[in-house]
């Protein structure tokens, strides 16, 4: 599986991905952190669940809360495209000839997504904290525990969205279809679902993501949300894995 991870990293470690998707995630988070820090400093507004102290690391955490879903959407698009394109362009044939154990291929792809998510979340957290401190002229205090929780929540959110994108890529085998379906469901679909099925707010994937993103919500706690997201993520992987193992590669 390590070989799969290394090969995926070789594939993804190109300027378009690093400066495009990853760079965009980090730049966006940094910009939001600076904006929130400046806004908090000027108005003493309380922003975000953790934002109790003006010009503190809580602004950095709030910036992660606000941007995690968008970083996740970018990850969904990145891995939805990357994995679906393996099927639509036929490069999956090359991969399976060199590593015919499909379970290993899929597991390696999931691990690669998590590695990217951890790296992006860590960099985003560090940059957000640094930007907040810089914007507050170094007067902010640091709540390390809250920063770690925010990092963990951000990692969970963007890795689960990346895995959703990758799973849709395996299932649908069309980059555009995988990306659009994933984004539409997360950003719009579940809102519509909750209108039809009011209980969906208790167990919906997107609802749980937003709860985790904000460290908990009125509907569910952070731990409950994290558990629901993990269950959904596991279901995505299992569904994609079953189809991947059983399907012929005809492309």
Which chain residues interact with other proteins by CB under 8 A?
3-4, 6-7, 10-11, 14, 16, 89-91, 93-101, 248-250
CB of 112 to other proteins, least distance (A): 12
Three state DSSP letters for the chain: CHHHHHHHHHHHCCHHHHHHHHHHHHHHHHHHHHHHHHHHHHHCCCCCCCCCCCCCHHHHHHHHHHHHHHHHHHHHHHHHHHHHHHHHHCHHHHHHHHCCCHHHHHHHHHHHHHHHHHHHHHHHHHHHHHHHHHHCCCCCCCCHHHHHHHHHHHHHHHHHHHHHHHHHHHHHCCHHHHHHHHHHHHHHHHHHHHHHCCCHHHHCHHHHHHHHHCCCCCCCCHHHHHHHHHHHHHHHHHHHHHHHHHCCCCC
In whole angstroms, the minimum distance from the beta carbon of 159 to other proteins comes to: 22
Residue nearer to other proteins on the CB measure, 17 or 130? 17
> Residue 187 in contact with residue 131, Cβ under 8 Å?
no
Q: Could you tell me the smallest distance in angstroms from the CB atom of residue 11 to other proteins?
A: 5
Closer to other proteins by Cβ: residue 10 or 195: 10
Beta-carbon count within 10 A of 175 CB: 22
* Min dist. Cβ of residue 248 to other proteins (A): 4
Nearer to other proteins, 52 or 98 (CB): 98
Q: Give the nearer residue to other proteins in terms of CB position, either 43 or 89.
A: 89
CB 96 → other proteins: shortest distance, Å?
A: 6
Closest approach, Cβ 91 to other proteins, in A, equals: 5
Nearer to other proteins, 43 or 251 (CB): 251
- Closer Cβ to other proteins, 227 or 249, answer by number: 249
Q: What's the min distance (Å) between Cβ of 115 and other proteins?
A: 15
Cα–Cα distance, 202 to 87 (Å, whole number): 35
- Judged by CB, which is closer to other proteins: 2, or 144? 2
């Amino acid at each position: 599986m390590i070989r799969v991870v290394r090969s995926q990293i070789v594939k993804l470690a190109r300027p378009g991905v690093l400066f495009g998707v990853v760079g965009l995630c980090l730049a966006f988070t940094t910009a939001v952190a600076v904006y929130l820090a400046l806004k908090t400093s000027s108005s003493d507004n309380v922003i975000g669940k953790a934002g109790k102290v003006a010009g503190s690391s809580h602004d950095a955490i709030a910036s992660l809360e606000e941007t995690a879903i968008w970083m996740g959407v970018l990850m969904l698009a990145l891995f939805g495209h990357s994995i679906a394109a393996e099927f639509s362009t036929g490069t999956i044939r090359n991969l399976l000839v060199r590593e015919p154990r499909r379970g290993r291929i899929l597991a390696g792809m999931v691990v690669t997504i998590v590695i990217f998510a951890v790296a992006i979340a860590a960099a985003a957290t560090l940059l957000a904290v640094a930007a907040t401190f810089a914007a507050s002229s170094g007067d902010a205090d640091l709540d390390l525990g809250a920063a770690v929780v925010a990092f963990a929540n951000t990692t969970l959110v963007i890795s689960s969205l990346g895995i959703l994108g990758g799973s849709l890529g395996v299932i649908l085998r069309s980059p555009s279809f995988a990306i659009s379906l994933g984004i539409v469901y997360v950003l719009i679909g579940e809102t519509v679902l909750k209108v039809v099925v009011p209980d969906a707010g208790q167990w919906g994937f997107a609802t749980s993501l937003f709860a985790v993103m904000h460290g908990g919500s009125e509907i569910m706690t952070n731990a409950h949300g994290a558990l629901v997201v993990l269950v959904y993520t596991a279901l995505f992987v299992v569904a994609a894995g079953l189809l991947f193992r059983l399907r012929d590669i005809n492309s």
